[in-house]
Structure 1
Amino acid sequence: MSTTTMTHPNPCDRPGTVTRSLLGYGLLAGPFYLVAGLIEALTRSGYQFTRHDLSLLANGAPGWIHVAVLVVTGLMTITAAAGMRRALAGTPGGRWGPRLVAGYGLGLVAAGVFVADPMNGFPVGTPDGPPVHPTVHGVLHVVTGGLGFLCLIAATAVLARTFARAGRRGWAWYSRGTGVAFLAGFAGIASGASSPPVILGFWAAVVIAFAWLAALSLHLYRAQ
């Protein structure tokens, strides 16, 4: 379906109903992750928004909660990507855009399975600074999470081109801007720096990325 087409939902249109149901998870993924993460951060002793990224919450006795949050968020993102593929079938980028969004979802799942190493004083009792002896699961967390982030950045570029070809310049620039903002936030955190501007910049990048995912899912939902 063209990204420029707008139709009213037909309750008898089963394929369209399935597509909308899948896309609905794109609206839920970001709010679920951010709200759950904020609740965890506010209730975990020693957690500081300006020093620690959310992945560190997977450590400690309550860490299983954040593991579950990452896995569920990733699965919802993958489900939304399946809806995007159905909604964008036959359009330029209609295959690779959704595939790359699914890659981001897989990265979230893997980041939950492979727990980040404790660092920067969290959980309480952990020495300041990066881990002296990184573990295998800690390295895999960084690698799989990073690959997922790169998939998201690539997805914004692919779908920006899709929208540009459809004459949707606003959506094209929004997608490009999201990719640039997320790349900047990711580059900061990937550099190993843990200063407040870097940590808060990555927080902002995550919010921007999930806002784009939700807006895109809603846009495609309405076009069914």
Structure 2
Amino acid sequence: MTITAARTHVALPARALLACGAASGPLYFLTTLVQAAVRDGFDLTKHPASMLSNGGAGWIQVTNFLVSGVLVIAGAIGLRRTLEPGRGSTWGPRLLGVFGVSMLFAAVFKADPGNGFPVGSGPGTISTAGVLHMAAGSIGFLSLIAATFVFASRFSREGNRGWAVYSRVIGIAFFASFAGISSGNANAVVMLAFWTTVMLAWGWVTAVILRTNR
């Protein structure tokens, strides 16, 4: 009885951490999409989510970055504690943790305004904070992409072919859209593809965490 109670006591913190990680994506996108719908001048076909950090209501997105980043880091810690030793059990959670940390940097160093948002802003300018924001975002997105392939390798080794394919498809699609938006030719199709794959990638994070939590 004592051993069982002790095991339950140890497991609860990890489950709480995993729950935090699973909530990060839905919370982030609910907050972001509501802002995208109500803030004047914001256009999903022109502006990335990070530009919502500008303007009088920019503090909402800054807070969103901070809270979501902390939740992702919590989920990564929960995965590290919960996953059975083996392929991906170390680097999978670490890469997700880097993604979470990148969001904290994205909150501190805001994206530059431009392309008509906030309303009245002219052509985009590049500031030091904006460069650091882009660097943090690039590191975070590439870490998340790498995590999909690390977990795909783990799932393949475990014989979970469906999860392996799912993970690789998400990684490939996200990398393609990220490459597209990084090329500087961010037309409406590229921008919407990027929004979609970021949502799918974060949905993958939630799915993997929920699978582990079961």
Which TM-score bucket, shorter chain as reference?
over 0.9
Letter in 2 for 1:67: V
1:183 alignment partner in structure 2: 175
Is 1:50 aligned with 2:45? yes
2:99 alignment partner in structure 1: 104
Residue 165 of structure 1, CA deviation: 0.9
Q: Within 5 A, what are the aligned runs for 1:72-221?
A: 72-128=67-123, 131-132=124-125, 134-221=126-213
> In 2, are the aligned partners of 1:188 and 1:198 still within 8 Å (CA)?
yes
Number of matched residues?
Answer: 210
> In 2, are the aligned partners of 1:11 and 1:17 still within 8 Å (CA)?
no
1:71 alignment partner in structure 2: 66
Give the secondary-structure state (helix, strand or coil) at the position aligned to 1:13.
Answer: helix
Residue 15 of structure 1, CA deviation: 2.1
Residues 70-125 of structure 1: CA deviation (Å, up to 9, x unaligned): 11111100100001111114121101110000011111111111100012111111
**Matched residues, percent identical?**
44
> Take 1:75 and 1:45, find their aligned partners in 2: how far apart are those partners?
29
Residue 153 of structure 1, CA deviation: 0.8
1:6 alignment partner in structure 2: none
Give the secondary-structure state (helix, strand or coil) at the position aligned to 1:38.
Answer: helix
Give the secondary-structure state (helix, strand or coil) at the position aligned to 2:67.
Answer: helix
Letter in 2 for 1:33: Y
> Take 1:188 and 1:111, find their aligned partners in 2: how far apart are those partners?
20
TM (norm. structure 1) is 0.90
Ranked by relative contact order (alpha carbons within 8 Å, sequence separation 6 or more), the top structure is 1
> Take 1:190 and 1:68, find their aligned partners in 2: how far apart are those partners?
25
2:12 alignment partner in structure 1: 17
Residue 26 of structure 1, CA deviation: 2.1
Residue 12 of structure 1, CA deviation: 5.9
TM (norm. structure 2) is 0.94
> Take 2:161 and 2:119, find their aligned partners in 1: how far apart are those partners?
48
> Take 1:22 and 1:76, find their aligned partners in 2: how far apart are those partners?
8
Describe the shift of the 1:171–1:63 C-alpha distance in structure 2 as closer, same or farther (beyond 3 A).
Answer: same
Quote the RMSD (CA, aligned, Å). Answer: 1.4
Give the secondary-structure state (helix, strand or coil) at the position aligned to 1:154.
Answer: helix
Is 1:30 aligned with 2:25? yes
